[in-house]
Each structure stands twice: as structure tokens, then as C-alpha cells.
Amino acid sequence: MITIDQVRQDSGVRTLIEKADAVMDAIGYTEHGMRHALLVSDTAQSVLRGLGHDPRRCELAAIAGLLHDVGNVVGRTGHEAAGAMLAGQMLREMGMPLDEVCDIMTAIGSHEDPRGLVPALDLCAAVILADKADVHHTRVRANGSIATDIHDRINGSATGSNVVVDAEAAVIRLLVEIDTSMAQPLEYFEIFLTRMALSRKAAKALGCRFEVHINGTRMA
């Protein structure tokens, strides 16, 4: 059984994530490196764990979350499909069973679905929720432009973000703290509306309602 610790410690995986992030840096995107990958991995796992899913499904969600952006190494367009293929090959070479590899490939391949289709698997929903929740000032590059780029400004204003699962109430909450001297809560929705729509469908696929709370106030 291939564990999340084995995948995290694999030198090839780390190199692929770092190289993919270098591509994102070169084309002006926010941070998509190990910090983002580890956070998405941990959050995806905690979402399923909080809902009482089988421990192995939780671990597979962690692996899918870790690898979800490796396709950026070949470019941003179509990075989901490229990442699914790259991750699938690496995991098979590590000895992971094909049925588990297929589920991870599905999760990676659907985490950025522009059509907003209903997530096919629990892993898909968990990775979507975890990925879309990562808004934080540390994602802004050293050469970023908070003054002119709204994405950099929103990320730069975010002092914290966290996904909380309330299994009893069947609610998944995204809690975001924003420095309102830099950006306003409505600006968050202005650029992240598609992300929130995907997150809502992902939560629904897990039998939950999705809520966004900014600075302690429920916004949606």
C-alpha cells in the first residue's frame, strides 16, 4: 500500500511540483509549489475524515491533493489532464494498484472543470474544496503587483483561510480573514465566483451545504 508519506518524500514528486511551480512563476501566476500542494493535500484529507469516510479514501484524497497541479509543468492550459497522466504514471511506478491510481487520476483531472460538472468521486469533491480554499498572502510572488492585479491584491489581503467540516449539520465552511484596508469582501467574490460555484457542487456531492464566511460574517 502506497502511503501519503511515501509520495511526499519521493524526490521525483518534489522535483515535479517545484518545476511546475517555476512555470507558474514564469507566466505570472501565484504560488503553486510545495506549500500549496501540502495544504491542499492536508485539507482534502481532513474534509473526508471529518465526514467519516474510510481512512484509505482519506489518504487517497491526500495523495490526489498533493499531485493535483503537477500538470503545470507542461503549461497552464490543460494542466488537469496532463497532471492526471503524469501522476498516474508515477504512482504506478511506485507500485500503487490500478484501481486506486484511476481514482486519483479522476480527481486530478476534474479539479479545474470549467463546465462545473458534478464531481464524480469523493476524492474529486475533496480536492476541489481544498484547492479553491487556498487564498493567502503567501501565495503572492515577490515580483507580484498588489497595486494593479486584483488576484494578487485579494491573496495579499488574506491573512488566513481554513476549511471546517460540520458533519452533524452537514455543512462545509470556508473561513477567510481579509485585511479590508487592502481589499473588500465583495472583491473576493468578483474574481472567485467560479471557484465558489465549483465548491458548492463539491460540497453537495459529499452530502453537504457550502458556506463562505469572511471576517466572521457569512457571505454565501
Could you give the CA distance from residue 200 to residue 208 in angstroms, rounded to a whole number? 9
List pLDDT tens digits, range 73-107.
999 999 999 999 999 999 999 999 999 999 999 99
Strand order in the sheet with 158-166: 158-166, 171-178, 209-214, 217-218
| Residue 218: per-residue pLDDT | 93
CATH code, domain carrying 186: 1.10.3210.10
At 175 the three-state DSSP class reads strand
Report the predicted TM-score, pTM, of the whole model to 2 decimal places.
0.94
List pLDDT tens digits, range 113-157.
767 677 889 999 999 999 999 998 889 888 766 656 777 888 888
| Domain carrying residue 17 | 4-218
Number of domains in the chain: 1
Q: What are phi and psi of 212, to 5 degrees?
A: -120, 125
